[in-house]
Amino acid sequence: MIKINGLYKQFDQLQVLKGIDLEVEKGKVVVVIGPSGSGKTTMLRCLNVLETPTKGVISISGQSLDFSKAVPKKDIASFRRLTGMVFQSYNLFPHKTALENVMEGPIVVKGVNKETARKKAEILLEKVGLADKQDYYPAQLSGGQQQRVGIARALAMEPEVMLFDEPTSALDPELVGEVLKVMKDLAAEGMTMIVVTHEMRFAREAADEVIFMDQGVVVERNKPDEIFTNPKEERTRKFLNMIQ
């Protein structure tokens, strides 16, 4: 479903990604862990082409972009639709209701008619447990509720893959569970997901594989049981010792 080959990203003098290779099969959940600044967010943003990689090839669901060459804008636009992104900071439109936030993408980007977009948005808000909050504005919702709207909004575009960038990091601890539950339900339904998170319990319970990144490379990847109980690399062991 996802294939990354030789992905590099440089900001000015700073080489942030130094040759990432990664494959993710359809329906799998991959959790990415690693120290702050190791390039986890940058890798996700490259997959969504919010950042333009310096070089490398990214393929998702049969569509491929090769960043060693100039990539046409229209190719980027269609590629971006393959992934849905959920941000740490929710990024909802503050002047739109929950329902309008979820309807916006399909109407504006896909040209879906308003009634169809509304029906779909209602179903998605119900799915994330917010049927009764559809007419609320973001400021009237808790962080956990806003993030669930964020997930519904990403799903409304019917992506092949969902990318989560520290989706619970900004939440009060008592609100983390409700967001993780929605993510676990999605995983159980067979959604292909890449999740950058510090929630090791989520990684243990929901991940098919855990990837440990450090200094712009994938240091180790393994099943959660293996990587948490028996990390092969010294750097992984050190990181896990620090956070557990």
Q: Which stretch binds ligand ADP (CB under 6 A): 37-45, 66-74, 135-143, 151-159?
A: 37-45
Output the CA torsion sign for 86, 89, 92, 98: positive
Q: Which of 2, 22, 33, 34 binds ligand ADP (CB under 6 A)?
A: 34
Give the count of beta carbons closer than 10 Å to the beta carbon of residue 39: 25
Q: Which of 8, 22, 40, 147 binds ligand ADP (CB under 6 A)?
A: 40
Q: Contact 219/233 with Cβ under 8 angstroms?
A: yes
Helical (H) or strand (E) element with 118:
helix 114-127
Least separation, in Å, of the C-beta of 214 and ligand ADP? 9
Binding mask 101-140 for ligand ADP (x = CB under 6 A): ----------------------------------------
28 touching ligand ADP, by CB under 6 A: no
Least separation, in Å, of the C-beta of 78 and ligand ADP? 24
235 touching ligand ADP, by CB under 6 A: no
Least separation, in Å, of the C-beta of 60 and ligand ADP? 19
Structure tokens at 187: 């995983």
Q: Which of 42, 48, 83, 192 binds ligand ADP (CB under 6 A)?
A: 42
13 touching ligand ADP, by CB under 6 A: no
DSSP assignment of 28-83: -EEEEE--TTSSHHHHHHHHTTSS--SEEEEEETTEEEETTS---HHHHHHHHTTE
14 touching ligand ADP, by CB under 6 A: yes
Helical (H) or strand (E) element with 99:
helix 98-108
Residue (64 or 169) nearer to ligand ADP, CB = 169
Residue (11 or 93) nearer to ligand ADP, CB = 11
Distance, in Å, from the CA atom of 138 to the CA atom of 163, rounded to the nearest integer, reads 21
Q: Backbone phi, then psi, for 60, in 5-degree steps? A: -135, 125
Cα–chain center distance at 205: 17
Helical (H) or strand (E) element with 212:
strand 209-214
Q: Give the interface size with ligand ADP as a residue count (CB under 6 A).
A: 11
Distance, in Å, from the CA atom of 41 to the CA atom of 26, rounded to the nearest integer, reads 21
Helices (H), 157-233: 173-188, 200-206, 224-229
Least separation, in Å, of the C-beta of 32 and ligand ADP? 8
Q: Which of 39, 105, 106, 138 binds ligand ADP (CB under 6 A)?
A: 39
Q: Contact 44/163 with Cβ under 8 angstroms?
A: yes
Q: Which stretch binds ligand ADP (CB under 6 A): 11-19, 68-76, 100-108, 182-190?
A: 11-19
Binding-site ranges for ligand ADP (CB under 6 A)? 11, 14, 16, 34, 36-42
